[in-house]
Structure 1
Amino acid sequence: MKRRFWCAALIAVLMVTLALSGCGQKQATPAPENKFKVAFVYVGPVGDTGWTYSHDEARKYLISKIPDVQTTIVESVPEGADAERVITQLAEQGNKLIFTTSFGYMDPTINVAKKYPDIVFMHCSGYKTAANVGTYFGRIYQARYLSGIAAGKTTKSNQIGYVAAFPIPEVVRGINAFTQGVRSVNPDAKVKVIWTNTWYDPAKEKQAGKTLLDAGADVIAQHQDTPGPQQAAEEAGKYGVGYNTDMSKLAPKAVLTSVVWNWGPYYVKIVESVKNKTWKSEQYWGPMSDGVIALAPFGPMVNDETKQLVDDAQKVIISGRWDVFTGPIKDQSGKVKVPAGQRMSDADMLSFDWFVEGVEGTLGK
């Protein structure tokens, strides 16, 4: 009987271990008892070279700055019921702080947080908070505007393609900011949008880029997690603007610049505040002046005139004297949505559900 009991126990342990490994969980640092445990939930694989990669590089930066942190990551977690299960599992494992790094984790994060009031949850790009839930994002639209200047000065066909993930306010805001930048230097240019309804699908994203190039675009921008659209541009002898990380290494002849994230210092700040018990729930939306967003270095194909235009606009944005969505701004039909001299409120920017003049495409199609 004892032998049967121990055999059954061993089988149960093995099943639990296999279940954990099946959801992509990785303990990224050793786990002595004195470690402060922090977990990260990722929507894509660490090797996506884009969104998830940028967060994981920040996690490594965190470890380098706070050595007594133990981190756990779970990759490729679908947005929905699976996310709630994974977040719950991480809470049960004793993590004191859990970062959930995709918009679709918003409701699962809130649901789990209700059950674990002593754990701090930080959700990236969402808008729902609680006593133990904060949100964080950066004003990436500011860097997108600057990249639009580079694209607008580079295009010869006045047709610029944009490979977009999902028609949520975050993505719509980025398309609009990019288009505002393009048309600030080239009022005749148009930005054509194709939706993939994916965050991470290398083949589909690259094919969307090819479709835009075949339709006459000679610059390709993107809100996707892979370099596929940039690689499509390079193969066609055209240009592009990367996203999340510097994509020039993956398409060096095409990438004008990339709109990039720098999450590391922010992660250090949050971990220190939770450890010191000074953390408070907030909705952080960091500007370019905070350093959480930036432009990657320009490629050799970008001329000095364009660099100067971008630099001048960047200085004004960082100063706070002006921001991207300052009127007059018209929608696709030509109707004035933001009067001259008026600046859009954060609430309006966070709920963008219309395209600015110069965008070709419809929401969700």
Structure 2
Amino acid sequence: MKKICVLLFIFMLISVIFTGCSGSQVTGVKEGTKIDKKDLKIGFVHYSDPSDQGYTYNHNKATWKMAEELGIDKSQIINKYNVPDTAQAATAFRELAEDGCQIIFSTSHGHEDYLLEVAFEYPSVVFCHFSGVKAKSSGLKNVHNYFGDIAQVRYLSGVVSGLTTKTNKIGYVCAMDYTEVNNGLDAYYLGAKSVNEKIQVNATYLNKWYDPALEGQATKSLIDMGCDVVSHHADSTAGAAVCQENGAYFIPYNSDMSKVAPKAVLTGVRWDTSKYLIMAVQNVLDGTPSKIPVDYTGTLKNGMIYLDKINYSLLDKATAKKVKKAVESCKNEFETKKKYVFEGPLYNRDGKELVKAGEVFVEPKSSPSFGEVLQGINIKK
């Protein structure tokens, strides 16, 4: 009898340790049950922090826009910055779930497997992943992906570059040799080529997502090659500053960098993810998480992606007129599906056919899968 009592005591002790004494505040979301706004907690996990003035800065801006729109106090939002694409991401997701966040967002593609791991452990918590691709195949009802057809905006920025250049040489700084980056490079090239048959697109890879010094050096090397318009898929404002210093034009990604380089920034490839955040959070509040799409695609039409205002004051009147007409026409064709970014024939740099003549490639998911560098793009070693 004594032995049985001891065993029961041990069992009860273990139960207490893993429940009541764990400090867990997991509440989650139940379909059909509304959440009082004051009881809501929202978590975000970011690869870098807003000081990058680019990628995370823009996501962070959308967070506060969402909070203001929905009347959510900033104290109800927990941000975890500078979380690498390692097991540290899983720890960050668990901590947010344990802190009582009913919905958690991640903005790094590299967090995906860690997010899925933790989402399985917390089925009542909603997880939304920007640039992820595995929500549908995971079979987890609490996981959602969101991204946008940003290739359309990259294409439009290429149109601007192709009509603005005087040397017929334009540049592109790539953070990594990665699908999303190459997808944007391809779209930029195709946009420029559509309005300027003489165009030469030169690209260089950093092999780092965020390195201002390296971004600046890469931008300068492209300018030294004769590129008078440069764009990028990198995180800092370094490229903008270098272009201003060297009399070149710059088309930034993620944020408005015109304050850094007012005489260089022509336009920008931009996101406004606040519309998605508002929709997802509102569904959590309403107790309808099932209404959050498994895979959401932002478009020019719904405003999640857009080309920033073009600074026509930097251009002569004739060029400004051509740019305005071409961009408006192209944008309208994208919105009415009369035009697609990836229209065949298209080949990779080895000559392999990617899209046949007369055919178009349409992304099957919100995040890009078309990621081979196209024939005609010059990669600077």
TM-score calculated relative to the size of structure 2 = 0.83
Q: What's the offset of the Cα at 1:161?
A: 1.3
Give the structure 2 partner of residue 34 of structure 1.
38
Q: Is the 8 A contact 1:100 1:123 kept in 2?
A: yes
CA offsets 1:113-152 (integer angstroms, 9 cap, x no match) = 1111110101110101132111100111101100000101
Give the structure 2 partner of residue 23 of structure 1.
none
- Structure 1 Cα separation of the partners of residues 194 and 349 of structure 2: 16
Deviates more, 1:93-102 or 1:124-133: 124-133
CA distance change for structure 1 residues 68 and 236 in 2, over 3 Å: closer, same or farther? closer
Match of 1:301, as an amino acid?
A: L
1:216 and 2:226 are equivalent in the alignment: yes
Match of 2:374, as an amino acid?
A: V
Q: Is the 8 A contact 1:162 1:222 kept in 2?
A: yes
CA offsets 1:175-215 (integer angstroms, 9 cap, x no match) = 00000001001122121111112222211111111111122
Match of 1:360, as an amino acid?
A: N
Q: Is the 8 A contact 2:163 2:322 kept in 1?
A: no
1:357 and 2:375 are equivalent in the alignment: yes
SS of match in other structure, 1:255: coil
- Structure 2 Cα separation of the partners of residues 216 and 85 of structure 1: 47
Q: Is the 8 A contact 1:258 1:296 kept in 2?
A: yes
Q: Is the 8 A contact 1:160 1:191 kept in 2?
A: yes
Q: What's the offset of the Cα at 1:333?
A: 4.5
- Structure 2 Cα separation of the partners of residues 225 and 102 of structure 1: 13
Q: Is the 8 A contact 1:189 1:358 kept in 2?
A: no
Q: What's the offset of the Cα at 1:90?
A: 0.9
- Structure 2 Cα separation of the partners of residues 221 and 68 of structure 1: 36
Q: Is the 8 A contact 1:183 1:358 kept in 2?
A: no
Q: Is the 8 A contact 2:42 2:77 kept in 1?
A: yes
Q: What's the offset of the Cα at 1:334?
A: 5.0
Give the structure 2 partner of residue 308 of structure 1.
325
Give the structure 2 partner of residue 116 of structure 1.
122
Deviates more, 1:306-315 or 1:345-354: 345-354
1:92 and 2:102 are equivalent in the alignment: no
Give the structure 2 partner of residue 4 of structure 1.
none
Give the structure 2 partner of residue 169 of structure 1.
179
Match of 2:48, as an amino acid?
A: G
Match of 1:292, as an amino acid?
A: M
Q: Is the 8 A contact 2:48 2:56 kept in 1?
A: yes
Match of 1:101, as an amino acid?
A: T
Match of 2:378, as an amino acid?
A: E
Q: What aligned pairs does 1:14-33 form with structure 2 within 5 A after superposition?
A: none
- Structure 1 Cα separation of the partners of residues 347 and 205 of structure 2: 22
Match of 2:104, as an amino acid?
A: I
Structure number with the bigger relative contact order (C-alpha 8 A, sep ≥ 6) is 2
Runs of 4+ in 1 over 6 A off after TM superposition: none
SS of match in other structure, 1:257: coil
Give the structure 2 partner of residue 201 of structure 1.
211
Equivalent residue for 2:301, pick from 283, 289, 300: 289
Q: Is the 8 A contact 1:62 1:265 kept in 2?
A: yes
Q: Is the 8 A contact 2:45 2:106 kept in 1?
A: yes
Equivalent residue for 1:156, pick from 132, 142, 166: 166
Give the structure 2 partner of residue 18 of structure 1.
none
Give the structure 2 partner of residue 58 of structure 1.
62
TM-score calculated relative to the size of structure 1 = 0.86
Give the structure 2 partner of residue 341 of structure 1.
358
CA offsets 1:9-54 (integer angstroms, 9 cap, x no match) = xxxxxxxxxxxxxxxxxxxxxxx99331001111111122211111
Mark the runs of 5 or more structure 1 residues left unpaired by the alignment: 1-31
Match of 2:309, as an amino acid?
A: P
Equivalent residue for 2:256, pick from 246, 251, 258: 246
- Structure 1 Cα separation of the partners of residues 67 and 37 of structure 2: 16
Matched pairs, number: 332
Question: Equivalent pairs: percent with the same residue?
Answer: 37
- Structure 2 Cα separation of the partners of residues 327 and 352 of structure 1: 13
Equivalent residue for 1:228, pick from 217, 221, 238: 238
1:77 and 2:77 are equivalent in the alignment: no
Mark the runs of 5 or more structure 2 residues left unpaired by the alignment: 1-35
CA distance change for structure 1 residues 90 and 343 in 2, over 3 Å: closer, same or farther? same
- Structure 2 Cα separation of the partners of residues 149 and 73 of structure 1: 37
Q: Is the 8 A contact 2:37 2:285 kept in 1?
A: no
SS of match in other structure, 1:200: coil
